[in-house]
């Protein structure tokens, strides 16, 4: 075949294929509802048109350049003449006159097992350099809380590994326990220690950073990796320099990720760090959208902002799998003002609070938990029965010590009973101290707390309390394996068990 014949044959084949494509092509019209950008401000845009747009629907703006993904926003204000949109990304090139399109879907996030061990944004973008997520399933970020009849009582403890919390302010799986205190008092440290203590418990942990500094987030991630906790943890990040829309939507997206595992009958722990930044972000967006301000310039629905989030934390009934989602929201106070607007809102929503005192922090009492101002309204019903042997005496002795300590500062003469109360109280305070990233098992905690409440540590000098605690923890782990198993099987301690515990611990303190 000559070259001319070959070219003619190729052209004939191409023409045949082209004719076939044209024969199979049936053009159709696709209606797309469009609008026009009227103005742009940091974090928001005002749009006209889009008469059919719905509340919380995603709308699409032009991308930053050719080949770039479109900029998304959430239809937030549905006014008669315009739509106020919260932008979910940076908008340096967005300007008045640009076209905006409806997507006819709400904001959703990827869910699935592939999120475990990853650091992501709420949009599903990986931040850990480990490649794309490859998750096909997506769920809406705004979901209704489970109905009352779909919930079951909170009955299983969520051990934090911290003696002061597990013994005096216990938390149950499905509870909402607020961590509250001034800045730099160790709020995040308690949350991270709780994550570290979930190793080998089957609890999925989600750390949600809202408006935090990038350096602080990186430190948390490094701690989780060094302690081997990333295998069962998801980190969802909206840093302080991220767009306001992402900071606003991130806690809802993190909760949706947790609800995926809860629906499978698994236990989930979600930490929101912190909701103070979240409330301020919502206030800023509301003021930009010209929503009427109320107390402290917050909009009127500021309570609903957090109530609809935290009400999604629950323990599902056995008919729905029996999974649970435990929420540990963190909030920052100003000058210990617990009666401020946002703190009181969250205190009324949650099932108790762990209050961190700056005075205790300055005295190097870590964790700086103020037992008197902290409470758990649910966890007492979930606490391991073995704690009942020590928790009641511990709280009473510590409260008496705090009361007597105030009067002892005046240098008045003290009777023998008061001196014994002071000495016992100082040892209780020393025992409740705990180093960061060193959670203890329940049996180890009970051995130490039983020793201090029963007077076994009264003769131990204060500077040797740490060494004594290590010996006591080793004693129950090595010499009392049956008692260890009894405690972790949620069985109460019998008088014989307490006698055996007293004898064994006394030998290790000699």
What residues act catalytically?
A: 377
Do 325 and 145 meet the contact criterion of CB atoms below 8 Å apart?
Answer: no
Q: Which two tokens stand for residue 239?
A: 């840093």
Query: Do 137 and 151 touch, CB atoms closer than 8 A?
Result: no
**In this structure, are strands 352-356 and 324-333 parallel, antiparallel, or unpaired?**
unpaired
What torsion do the CA atoms of 334, 340, 346, 351 make, to the nearest 10 degrees?
Answer: 90
Residue (of 247, 195, 251, 268) closest to 226 by Cα position: 195
Following DSSP, what letter does each residue of 488-509 receive, concatenated?
HTT-PPPHHHHHHHHHHHHHHH
Alpha helices in 1-97 (DSSP H): 3-24
138 within 8 A of 72, measured Cβ to Cβ: no
User: What distance in Å separates the CA atoms of residue 156 and residue 384, rounded to the nearest whole number?
Assistant: 9
Check if the beta carbon of residue 165 is closer than 8 Å to that of residue 190.
yes
By CB atoms closer than 10 A (0-12, 13-18, 19+), residue 2 is exposed
Strand intervals (E) in 136-221: 138-140, 178-182, 204-210
Q: How far apart are CA 385 and CA 491, in angstroms?
A: 6
Beta bridge partners of 388: none
Residue pointed to by tokens 């997520």: 133
| Cα–Cα distance measured from residue 477 to residue 471, given in angstroms and rounded to the nearest whole number | 10
In the chain, DSSP finds a helix count (H) and a strand count (E) of 15, 16
């Amino acid at each position: 075949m000559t070259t001319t014949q070959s070219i003619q044959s190729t052209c004939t084949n191409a023409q045949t294929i082209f004719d076939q494509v044209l024969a199979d092509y049936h053009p159709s019209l696709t209606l797309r509802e469009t609008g026009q950008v009227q103005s742009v401000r940091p974090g928001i845009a005002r749009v006209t048109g889009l008469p059919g747009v719905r509340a919380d629907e995603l709308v699409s703006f032009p991308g930053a350049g050719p080949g770039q993904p479109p900029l998304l926003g959430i239809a937030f204000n549905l006014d008669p003449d315009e739509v106020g949109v919260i932008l979910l990304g940076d908008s340096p090139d967005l300007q008045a006159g640009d076209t905006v399109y409806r997507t006819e879907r709400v904001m959703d996030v990827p869910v699935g097992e592939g999120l475990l061990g990853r650091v992501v944004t709420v949009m599903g973008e990986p931040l850990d350099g480990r490649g794309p997520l490859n998750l096909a399933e997506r769920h809406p970020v705004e979901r209704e809380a489970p109905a009352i009849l779909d919930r079951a009582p909170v009955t299983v403890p969520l051990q934090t590994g911290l003696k002061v919390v597990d013994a005096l302010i216990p938390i149950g799986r499905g509870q909402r326990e607020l961590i509250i205190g001034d800045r730099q008092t160790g709020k995040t440290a308690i949350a991270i220690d709780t994550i570290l203590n979930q190793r080998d418990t089957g609890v999925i942990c989600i750390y949600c950073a809202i408006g935090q500094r990038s350096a602080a987030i990186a430190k948390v991630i490094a701690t989780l990796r060094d302690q081997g906790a990333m295998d069962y943890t998801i980190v969802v990040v909206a840093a302080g320099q991220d767009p306001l829309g992402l900071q606003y939507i991130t806690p809802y997206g993190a909760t949706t990720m947790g609800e995926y595992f809860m629906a499978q009958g698994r236990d989930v722990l979600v930490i929101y760090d912190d909701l103070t930044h979240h409330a301020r972000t919502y206030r800023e967006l509301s003021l930009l959208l010209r929503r009427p301000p109320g107390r402290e310039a917050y909009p009127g629905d500021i309570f609903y902002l957090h109530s609809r989030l935290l009400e999604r934390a629950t323990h599902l009934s056995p008919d729905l799998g029996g999974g649970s989602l435990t929420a540990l929201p963190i909030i920052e106070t100003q000058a210990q003002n617990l009666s401020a607007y946002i703190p009181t809102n969250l205190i009324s929503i949650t099932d108790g609070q762990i209050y961190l005192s700056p005075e205790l922090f300055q005295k190097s009492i870590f964790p700086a938990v103020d037992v008197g101002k902290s409470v758990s309204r649910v966890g007492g019903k979930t606490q391991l029965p073995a704690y009942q042997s020590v928790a009641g005496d511990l709280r009473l002795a510590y409260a008496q010590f705090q009361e007597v300590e105030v009067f002892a500062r005046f240098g008045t003469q003290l009777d023998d009973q008061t001196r014994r109360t002071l000495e016992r109280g100082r040892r209780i305070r020393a025992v409740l101290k705990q180093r960061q990233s060193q959670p203890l098992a329940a049996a180890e905690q009970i051995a130490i707390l039983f020793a201090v409440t029963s007077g076994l540590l009264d003769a131990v000098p204060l500077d040797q309390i740490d060494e004594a605690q290590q010996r006591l923890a080793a004693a129950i782990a090595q010499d009392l394996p049956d008692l260890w198993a009894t405690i972790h099987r949620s069985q109460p301690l019998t008088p014989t068990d307490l006698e055996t515990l007293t004898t064994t611990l006394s030998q290790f303190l000699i």
